[in-house]
Amino acid sequence: MTTPLELGKIGIWTWTLDGQPMAKSCEAVQELEELGFKTVWIPEAVGREPFAHAGILLSATKKLILGTGIASMYARTASTMQAGQKTLTSAFPDRFLLGIGASHGNMVKSLHKSAYVKPYSAMVEYLDVMDKGMFVAAAPTTPLHRVLAALGPKMLKLAGERADGAHPYFTTPKHTAVAREILGNGPTLAPEQAVILETDPSKARAIARSYMGTYTRLPNYANNLLREGFTEDDIKNHSDKLVDAICAWGTLDTVRGRIKEHLDAGASHVSVQVLTEGLIELPSTQWRELATLLPEFR
């Protein structure tokens, strides 16, 4: 693949833009750009369509990179995916990073009414079709950039071979070290890291558990946690051990330490997801606090 984009050491990953009027979402990313963040990641599930959303947010900013974390391969054909990527890359050279993922069986069946195929083989076929896709329009003048949502060894290896790298989600620095070993030195490794700027253990862990419940029920994430050495009881009961491994909570120093753990383990970029009580409000105050860390992670 091409030389990876310069994402910066710390970026912002957030669901919360989906919950705002579009004008407010645009104002939020404008502020993030002004604060010094180079990259913002947006998701896809049952909210805004990510290509349209990315285009609007890119139009509202000057240099910000928008990453999809992730666009589901089941939500659109491979031909449509590559056309969307090329359209945004043409309009915003070197500012769109396509994150592609295989989603989850229950979501694929309920939302897309499709059969769920083994993620690795499905992704290989999907990338093959993308790479051969027709695009009868003015071609982008800059390289295309993509990363894969990768957790297990096979998908991580594929991410290094067929993409700029990997965007793991709901993982730990221990996973980051394993992922870097599989990817090798060149590819992008951009793990997501949930953080809670709350020093009260009970409050912080309550916020964490309200967030984690969605993910621990999904086999892809649960199986990855088992590979990392967590037990079924840890996963089922959201043990303090698991909560503290997945969510960095406490002071800004605690968050700084967790980001550094990922970077020391081989991450090239850490996409920080700020969690707050209720999980839906824009964490603007916390983003401003995080921005104070940017000078030391250049």
Q: What is the pLDDT of residues 245-254, one digit of tens each?
A: 999 999 999 9
* pLDDT score at 224: 97
Q: Is residue 289 part of a domain?
A: yes
* pLDDT score at 2: 80
* pLDDT score at 40: 99
* pLDDT score at 46: 86
CATH number for the domain that contains residue 67: 3.20.20.30
Q: Is residue 5 part of a domain?
A: no
Count of structural domains within the chain:
1
Q: Is the dihedral of CA 31, 25, 12, 52 positive or negative?
A: negative
Q: Is residue 157 part of a domain?
A: yes
Give the structural domain span for 101.
10-297
Q: Is residue 127 part of a domain?
A: yes
- Tell me how far apart the alpha carbons of residues 68 and 44 are, in angstroms, rounded to a whole number: 8
- Tell me how far apart the alpha carbons of residues 67 and 50 are, in angstroms, rounded to a whole number: 9
* pLDDT score at 140: 98
pLDDT digits (tens, 9 = 90+) for 32-66: 999 999 999 999 988 999 999 999 999 999 999 99
Q: Is residue 288 part of a domain?
A: yes
Q: Is residue 3 part of a domain?
A: no
Residues of the chain with pLDDT under 70: 1, 103-114
* pLDDT score at 279: 80
* pLDDT score at 271: 99
Half-sphere exposure of 231 (CA within 13 A, CB side): 6
Q: Is residue 173 part of a domain?
A: yes
Q: Is residue 2 part of a domain?
A: no
What type of residue sits at position 219?
P
